[in-house]
Amino acid sequence: MLVGGLIRRYAARGIYLFCVVASAAGRNAYFVMAAWIATDVSNSASALAVLLALGSAAELLTSNVGGALVDRFDRRLVCISCDLSRLVLMLSTGLAFLFGDPLIVLYLSWTVFAIIDRTYSTALQAIIPSIERPENLSSFNSVSYIAMQAGNLIAAIVTGFTLTVIERDLTPLLPGAFFSLSLLGLLAMLGQQPLSFSQRGSKRASIRRLDLWPTTFTLHPLKIVAVIYALIYAMGMLVSVLGSAYVIHELEGSALQFGYIEAGWALGSIAGCAMFLSGSALPRRGTVLVHLALAGIILSVFLVLQSFPVALVQMMVLGLSYNMARVLIDVRVQSTVPIGLLGRVRSQIHTICVAIGLVAYGIIAVIGDAFLPSQIFGLFGTLMVAVALFLYFRMDGGEPLESRLV
């Protein structure tokens, strides 16, 4: 019995990590494709900001609905439904490219994708405490993020090459292929022994009306951490929305170089997660503040140094800091929040992130063509450093922030 249980647990972990890699590859392939096509067609950073702002607005309004569904139903079935929906969406997007304005097609497609993908990500992450022991959450989350960034790395390299050799109408087939692999993995996981959350009564609890609104009412002990994470998350969104414009307009690079920039982010992310596995992570006190300040400093350097090799190194460091912060906060949430509430609480944290990111997108959409991407990077980096210093001095001044920082 014990041996059989261990085999099933290891099988569930392996299938889970396979789904993480495949889904991340599909998600990043679609993002690189959409970012490059939107910037290339419109020749404007504002168009890409509008594209991602639409997706963020959709996430803001529906994230808690997805979280409530994740807590209500078997999370494996939720993921399978999302994968099927993403497959249909990719095929529809490719067909729509044949008949419509590619920018309008991307606006509609990305908005729908954001809703589906956010629900999928929440459900997949909420499975972790059901297949891993509490004392191993940190290491398994690190492995999970390494798998995610491995998928991102594969997608960044393959998509950059794909954009240069095939027609635009066929590009959605690449993310669709990755989502098919994710679907196959989830179907295999469905054949495993039911996971622990399937046996909890909490999943059958009725969904309250308040659970469906974009609120933060259950987050009081984690609110400071969530706000710090939101700024780091917004930094990632900022790099995403302006990365292609930076390569095109300031570095005068190609789609292949943009793919390398995205790959640099993925490599740095893998290195950051690996630090947790090696035991060399920074001390816990104020760790998230360190990442907030580090990301702000690196982002500000874009104002001073502008070359492809330097940008590649900067993206690696930003990816490292971004994902170390994500692991720290995910472990904190998974270890303190009841498993039956994970979907809703994680969605509420994401709501804060998206709200701040949406403000950033709105500003870029308005002033994106009046300022260079490097200038916007520098301004936001300065803001991140200022917030980090403010919170650090409040913490050392006797405010009870330390207990709420990871």
Is residue 47 within 8 A of residue 38, CB to CB? The reply is yes
Is residue 128 within 8 A of residue 1, CB to CB? The reply is no
Instruction: From 154, 125, 374, select the one nearest 266 (Cα to Cα).
Output: 154
SS3 229: helix
The pLDDT value given to residue 196: 52
The pLDDT value given to residue 282: 46
Amino acid at 338: P
pTM of the model: 0.70
Q: For 2-195+214-399, CATH number?
A: 1.20.1250.20
The pLDDT value given to residue 153: 77
- Taking each helix axis as running N to C, give the angle between helix 255-278 and helix 2-42, from 0 to 180 degrees, rounded to the nearest 10: 150
Instruction: Give per-10-residue mean pLDDT for the chain (406 aa).
Output: 49 85 90 80 72 79 74 84 93 88 89 90 81 71 80 79 73 87 87 49 48 50 73 81 77 76 79 68 60 88 84 88 79 70 70 74 68 84 88 63 48
The pLDDT value given to residue 217: 46
Is residue 222 within 8 A of residue 349, CB to CB? The reply is yes
Is residue 19 within 8 A of residue 79, CB to CB? The reply is yes
CB atoms within 10 A of CB 190: 14
Amino acid at 219: L
**Residue position matching structure tokens 């959350």:** 197
The pLDDT value given to residue 402: 43
The pLDDT value given to residue 201: 40
Q: So where are the chain's domains?
A: 2-195+214-399
On the 0-12 / 13-18 / 19+ scale of CB atoms within 10 A, 206 is: exposed
Is residue 261 within 8 A of residue 315, CB to CB? The reply is yes
Q: How many whole angstroms separate alpha carbon 246 and alpha carbon 306?
A: 10
The pLDDT value given to residue 90: 92
Is residue 298 within 8 A of residue 385, CB to CB? The reply is no
Q: How many whole angstroms separate alpha carbon 122 and alpha carbon 350?
A: 9
The pLDDT value given to residue 137: 67
User: Which residues have C-beta within 8 Å of that of residue 196, sequence separation ≥ 6?
Assistant: 129, 130, 339
The pLDDT value given to residue 40: 76
